[in-house]
Amino acid sequence: MTFDKVKEIIIDSLSVDEDKVVLEASLSDDLEADSLDAVELIMAIEDEFGIEIPDEKAGEMKTVKDIVDYVEENA
């Protein structure tokens, strides 16, 4: 499932507890990701799923669900 893989990448990239990574979690508020964290996370997602996420689209991703939805639509 896409969510499970995205969750694993988020846990590794942001060093957050597994229970914090839920679909509704805000990357900046709940997971405390700063702009550098977000860039590294997007790069890890791109590498894992073999996709390219345009900067404009990456900037629109605010929650875990936003990432999962994009990957499911584009991978």
Assess contact for 68 and 7: CB atoms under 8 A. no
Does 69 qualify as catalytic in the annotation? no
From the candidates 19, 34, 37, 69, which is the catalytic residue?
34
Strands, DSSP E only, in the chain? none
Is residue 68 classed exposed, middle or buried when 0-12, 13-18 and 19+ CB atoms within 10 A define those classes? buried
Q: Which residues are catalytic?
A: 34
